[in-house]
Amino acid sequence: MALNPGLPDAAYDDAARQIVATVATQSLIVTNREKYNFIRDGVQVAFRNAKGDRERRRLRVFDFAEPTNNDFLCVRELWVRGDLYRRRADIVGFVNGLPLLFMDLLENFIVFDDSAGEPKKILARNHQFLGVNRAIEAVRDRKGRDGKLGVFWHTQGAGKSYSMVMFTRKVHRKIGGNFTFLVLTDRDDLDTQIYKTFAGCGVVDNDRDPCRAASGEHLGSLLAQHKSHIFSLIQKFNRNVEPNQPYTERDDIIVITDEAHRTQYGTLALNLHNALPNAGYIGFTGTPLFTDDEITRRVFGNYVSTYDFQRAVDDVNERIADKLEEL
């Protein structure tokens, strides 16, 4: 009640009912997504106010902006009873009466992806959590960095596209403003793959709100519309752009370049930077930069996060060892 004061008891009862109620015909993943949205975004309730008028309000379950406003409790050796078994957890952390992970992980590092047809729940791994948060700090300090937000090197198969989704969502939720993310690749298949990940996670929908550039002219038009996300091949910057005639002088555009080391050479890269002179630039790559690759560093700065192949192998081996130990 402290997070949503002054409402009738019926409103609180309705919110609690929606959080705990389940539908027998609903799959576990669909129920999980529904409850997660309640926890992250609040619960929509309807009630009669003091004047007797029907009113709708969204009740917060947690205060993400000021975590100390929440109630925290740790319980040791908690027994949990299911339909078949009873299990005892060593320690369970509760926030406002609900068993939860860390607040930042809950709010910003869980996504549900429908791109493969069947929905999947994606929880960030440690390297994604750390890497995205370092990139967030770079965005906060983008002026001090002269727009160079760094190189995000996570080896192939480490969930780079999901890291992009989590990064853009957290910027919008926690930094605010009207940021536009321009996601650039140099191949059609990569552009489609990344777009489908964003669309599958419910971040964009090109059919409802066009965000995929069909041409250089269309790209210029999208950039003028303050879209939240735009997807394009760097080849769409095929029109010569004079430094004194940029597409926009906005400083809240962040260019996310996939396979960053392949796209920062020649006329296309020059047109990009002339078109968006005040943008911030972050490069994502699955392979390390060459020691003498000064051009990529000059555009993006140094590494903001690294997760190399050996660390990925070590993590897999550790998970296998843990499974064997359980058996």
Domains and CATH numbers, the chain: 9-104 (no CATH), 106-311 (3.40.50.300)
Those residues with Cβ within 8 angstroms of residue 282's Cβ, 6 or more apart along the chain or in another chain = 135, 138, 149, 150, 151, 152, 254, 255, 256, 257, 300, 304
Q: What is the mean pLDDT of the chain?
A: 89
Residue ranges in the chain modelled with pLDDT below 70: 260-261, 263-264, 289-293, 309, 311-327
pTM above 0.85, yes or no: yes
CA distance 45 to 1: 14
pLDDT value of residue 326: 56
Quick: pLDDT tens for 186-206.
Answer: 999 999 999 999 999 999 999
Give the count of beta carbons closer than 10 Å to the beta carbon of residue 48. Answer: 12
d(CA 149, CA 171) in angstroms, rounded, equals: 13
**Tokens read off for 272:** 């990009």
The amino acid present at 68, given as its one-letter code, is T
Helix and strand totals (H; E) in the chain:
10, 13
Tokens (6 digits) for 239 = 């029109």
Predicted confidence (pLDDT) per residue in 58-110, tens digit: 999 999 999 999 999 999 999 988 878 898 989 999 999 998 878 999 999 99
d(CA 292, CA 223): 33
Containing H/E element for 72? strand 72-81
Around Cβ 264, how many Cβ atoms within 10 Å? Answer: 22
Query: Residue 133 is encoded by which pair of tokens?
Result: 């948060």
Cα separation, 284 vs 279, whole angstroms: 16
In 1-110, where does DSSP find H-type helix? 9-20, 28-41, 103-108
Instruction: Report how far apart the first and last C-alpha atoms of the chain are (Å, whole number).
Output: 45
Residue partners of 42: CB distance under 8 A and separation at least 6? 58, 59, 60, 61
Percent of the chain past pLDDT 90, that is, above it, reads 68
- Helix 160-170 to helix 126-140 angle (10° resolution) is 40
Rg of the chain, C-alpha, whole Å:
23
Residue among 8, 2, 22, 107 at smallest CA distance from 57: 8
Residue 78 pairs in a beta bridge with: 89
What is the rounded distance in angstroms from the CA atom of residue 70 to the CA atom of residue 64? 9
- β-pair partners for 152: 284, 305
The rounded distance, in Å, linking the Cα atoms of 152 and 50 is 54
